[in-house]
């Protein structure tokens, strides 16, 4: 870390510092690099074709199926997986549970990058990307549109997350005065961010309220905004468990010894929260199913698929979280976290893609180009995350 930045106002020194920080560190021939670099380069080429020749040149989208993998996973699912940021900041700064303070920075960084990359990926799916500002100004949508609210909530929450993470950037640059000012904004920004996050998590579900004729009745409900919000809580907690487990191994040398000692305790606490939230979500799903008298819908393939999602990837992981917490088994908790993530991905894709136009004779299936671009977005986010944590004090304030 070049401490000259802290004591000089020279633009030349500052520019030199940034150039040094942008240089790669460590070996290039790692398994992740070998896999991700070709995927990212291929994805860039595919996107060139997409923007030159249109969506039809690389996707299986049509006038009947306007939303595909890019919208269903990159946006609808990705926002849910980034829910850990607002959950942890609420627990630490509002509820004052200091035990989780060690993971606040990395969780906020994950949330900020997820929103940034998945928000940018939305442009891939728009037939006319230059019309992207329209929802923000109410053009063609109106100020009472759900999309108008979601776009503004999304944008303002990204700004709030950047402000929450900005003390880390100031610390990296040794801007002590700026750091003190930014830290004073933390609590207010966290409260604003939590409010905005709740609104847009549920707002994404509200988008599908207008699609009742097109979504299979097993997945459509007038309470879908509440279901989206509740599921984003345990999705975020499960994502923290999975990402934390990987980071605990990959970036072990960057994590202070005292944080290693608290790792298990943090994981068990996250598992407890995930178990409680998943049981609440399952109870809501069961209550809606019984109230709407949908028993006869379980007699076909759609009914079986619904049971696979609700029982196999909600109830069973919830029981595993509870069992792992009670018997202090990290392995069971990690497996449950992976299953919970698969369940939230399955639910979001069922709502936005799989059960959408479920009555159609020809069903949508993503092209290989769509899959590659989705992997490109994920790998690119990991690359940027790795750059941040290896250069900035994300895991430790004494980086």
Beta bridge partners of 356: 215
Which distant-in-sequence residues (6+ apart) come within 8 Å of 369 by Cβ? 46, 49, 50, 58, 59
The CATH number assigned to the domain holding 74 equals 1.20.1630.10
Which distant-in-sequence residues (6+ apart) come within 8 Å of 267 by Cβ? 241, 244, 245, 330, 333
Beta bridge partners of 215: 356
- The answer as to whether 399 is a domain residue is no
Taken in order 72, 73, 74, 77, the sign of the CA dihedral is: positive
Of 141-150, 207-216, 309-318, 380-389, minimum mean pLDDT range: 141-150
- The answer as to whether 314 is a domain residue is yes
pLDDT > 70? residue 235: yes
pLDDT band at 397 (very low <50, low <70, confident <90, very high): low
- The answer as to whether 47 is a domain residue is yes
Task: Give the per-residue pLDDT at 310.
Answer: 97
Task: Give the per-residue pLDDT at 4.
Answer: 43
Task: Give the per-residue pLDDT at 6.
Answer: 45
Question: What would the mean pLDDT of 132-142 be, rounded to a whole number?
Answer: 78
Tokens read off for 118 = 């998945």
Domain that holds residue 344: 4-391
- The answer as to whether 247 is a domain residue is yes
How far is it, in rounded angstroms, from Cα 149 to Cα 141? 11
Task: Give the per-residue pLDDT at 2.
Answer: 46
- The answer as to whether 397 is a domain residue is no
Q: How far is CA 378 from CA 61, 110, 337, 366, in A?
A: 21, 12, 19, 17
How far is it, in rounded angstroms, from Cα 322 to Cα 316? 10
How far is it, in rounded angstroms, from Cα 153 to Cα 229? 14
Interval 189-201: pLDDT, tens: 999 999 999 988 9
Q: How far is CA 357 from CA 147, 189, 361, in A?
A: 21, 40, 9
- The answer as to whether 240 is a domain residue is yes
Report whether 323 contacts 272 (CB < 8 A).
no
Task: Give the per-residue pLDDT at 9.
Answer: 52
- The answer as to whether 398 is a domain residue is no
Tokens read off for 160 = 């709030």
Task: Give the per-residue pLDDT at 15.
Answer: 72
Q: How far is CA 56 from CA 76, 246, 366, in A?
A: 21, 37, 12
Write the DSSP string, 212-255.
TTTB-TTT--TTHHHHHHHHHHHHHHHHHHHHHHHHHHHTGGGS
- The answer as to whether 396 is a domain residue is no
Task: Give the per-residue pLDDT at 12.
Answer: 66
pLDDT band at 7 (very low <50, low <70, confident <90, very high): very low
Report whether 122 contacts 71 (CB < 8 A).
yes
Domain count, the chain: 1
119: how many CB neighbours lie within 10 A of its CB?
18
Which residue matches tokens 């009555």? 359
């Amino acid at each position: 870390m070049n401490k000259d930045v802290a004591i000089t106002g020279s633009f030349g020194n500052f520019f030199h510092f940034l150039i040094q920080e942008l240089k790669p560190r460590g070996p290039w021939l790692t398994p992740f690099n070998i896999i991700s670099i070709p995927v990212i380069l291929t994805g860039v080429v595919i996107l060139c074709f997409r923007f030159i020749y249109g969506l039809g040149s690389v996707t299986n989208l049509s006038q009947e199926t306007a939303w595909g993998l890019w919208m269903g996973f990159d946006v609808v699912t990705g926002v849910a997986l980034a829910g850990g940021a607002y959950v942890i900041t609420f627990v630490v700064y509002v509820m004052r549970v200091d035990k989780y303070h060690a993971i606040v920075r990395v969780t906020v960084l994950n949330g900020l990058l997820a929103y940034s990359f998945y928000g940018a990926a939305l442009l891939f799916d728009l037939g006319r990307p230059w019309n992207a500002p329209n929802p923000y100004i109410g053009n063609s949508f109106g100020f009472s549109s759900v999309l108008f609210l979601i776009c503004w909530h999304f944008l303002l929450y990204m700004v709030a997350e950047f402000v929450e993470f900005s003390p880390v950037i100031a610390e990296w640059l040794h801007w002590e005065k700026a750091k003190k000012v930014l830290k004073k904004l933390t609590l207010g920004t966290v409260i604003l961010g939590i409010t905005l996050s709740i609104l847009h998590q549920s707002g994404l579900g509200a988008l599908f309220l207008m699609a009742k004729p097109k979504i299979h009745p097993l997945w459509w409900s007038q309470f879908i905004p509440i279901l989206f919000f509740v599921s984003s809580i345990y999705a975020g907690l499960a994502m923290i468990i999975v990402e934390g487990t990987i980071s605990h191994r990959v970036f072990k040398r960057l994590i202070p010894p005292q944080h290693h000692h608290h790792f298990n305790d943090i994981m068990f606490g996250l598992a407890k929260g995930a178990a409680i939230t998943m049981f609440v979500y399952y109870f809501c799903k069961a209550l809606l199913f019984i109230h709407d008298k949908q028993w006869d819908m379980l007699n076909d393939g759609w009914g079986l698929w619904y049971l696979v999602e609700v029982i196999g990837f909600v109830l069973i992981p919830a029981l595993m979280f509870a069992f792992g917490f009670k018997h202090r088994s990290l392995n069971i908790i990690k497996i449950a976290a992976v299953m919970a993530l698969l369940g939230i991905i399955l639910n979001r894709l069922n709502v936005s893609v799989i059960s959408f136009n479920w009555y159609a004779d020809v069903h949508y299936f993503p092209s290989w180009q769509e899959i590659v671009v989705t992997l490109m977005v994920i790998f690119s986010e990991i690359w940027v995350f790795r750059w941040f944590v290896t250069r900035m004090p994300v895991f430790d304030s004494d980086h």
